[in-house]
Amino acid sequence: MNIQENISLKSLNTFGFDQNALFFTAADSVESLKSALTWAKEKELQVLILGGGSNILLTQDFVGLVIKVEMRGIQLVGEDENHLWVKVGAGEVWHDLVCYAIERNWAGIENLSLIPGTVGASPMQNIGAYGVEIKDIFDSLEAMNRSTLEMETFSHGACQFGYRESVFKNKLKNQYVICSVTFKLNKSPNFQVEYGAIQDVLRQKGIEKLTINAVSEAVIEIRQSKLPDPRVIGNAGSFFKNPTIPQNQYADLQARFPGIPGYPSEAGVKVPAGWLIEQAGWKGFKSGDVGVHAKQALVLVNYGDGHGSEVRVLSEQIRQSIREKFGIELSPEVNFI
């Protein structure tokens, strides 16, 4: 275990905010993670678990121990006539796993191409895009209990998946460290291309015979056209969740805003947060070195020398304006530190 002091986290968060960790270490095994947690407990320090840094907003220095999860490995652990079970280290880059699966014609995660972050964060956030969520391909995960330092296995049901939610963001927040995730992938594709944008790109490319690689390339093209590269403009992707509102509220809003889009869900109607933010006039807004992206209103950005606290203030201003204009409460998808 190598504990470093006063380490900048600028390169370890996709917003690129230059905040420091009082102490920092990397954990590439269960044993090194246990050692780091033990060390922090003995010194009565707060602990921040860091993956790809793509879903956090650093608003201040972290006065404690930052542990970067770097457990690696992709292993085929089971298969039957139709499915493959693949166990993946939490520190693997998510898109690298997607590419690995596509190269082997393992289907199920092609729609989740180019989502930033690591594998360990994927079930925590229940990441999703273009009709597919982690819960659709998830089998189980192994996590370390931060209090007992024991490893525990969580089944699909135990994770309590919801829209960009899991038990690890609610009841068990900050109580476990995810070390590996096992996915149940398909030997034969079950294509999810009902989203118009995917169909449009496939048509433009002249794709007549669908493959998981073609779907992946279409998703990548769409994401690159709408979302800024964090290596160029600091951002954490979608900053807010798409809100779900009751059907009667949606009907009232339709009367006032005839163009408001909505998608039926089990809990009501899901409304695109980006549309709401754009209608409220925020798209392209800039204040100092932070702002709202000019191509996608759902993305808040750091143009270079901004501060996380400025993004936090901006996000609150956006939430208030949406509340006043539409009567809808936006919830951040990004975790504030």
Cα–Cα distance, 144 to 151 (Å, whole number): 4
What does the pLDDT read at residue 131?
Answer: 85
pLDDT digits (tens, 9 = 90+) for 152-197: 999 999 999 988 889 998 899 999 999 999 999 999 988 888 766 8
Task: Give CATH for domain 74-186.
Answer: 3.30.465.10
Cα–Cα distance, 327 to 251 (Å, whole number): 13
- Better-scored residue on pLDDT, 119 or 125: 119
Instruction: Answer whether residue 208 shows pLDDT above 90.
Output: no
Where do the domains of the chain lie?
4-69, 74-186, 234-336
Cα–Cα distance, 50 to 33 (Å, whole number): 12
What percentage of residues in the chain have a pLDDT greater than 90? 76
Known catalytic residues are 164, 238, 333
Mean pLDDT, residues 16-33 taken together: 96
Instruction: Answer whether residue 320 shows pLDDT above 90.
Output: yes
286's tokens: 């800039």
pLDDT digits (tens, 9 = 90+) for 53-80: 888 999 999 999 999 999 999 999 999 9
pLDDT digits (tens, 9 = 90+) for 240-295: 999 999 999 999 998 999 989 988 887 889 999 999 999 999 999 999 999 999 98
pLDDT digits (tens, 9 = 90+) for 29-44: 999 999 999 999 999 9
Which of the following CATH numbers is that of domain 234-336: 3.90.420.10, 3.30.70.20, 2.60.40.1180, 3.90.78.10?
3.90.78.10
pTM: 0.86
Ranges 12-26, 221-235, 254-268, most confident:
12-26
Domain 4-69 grouped into CATH 3.30.43.10 = yes
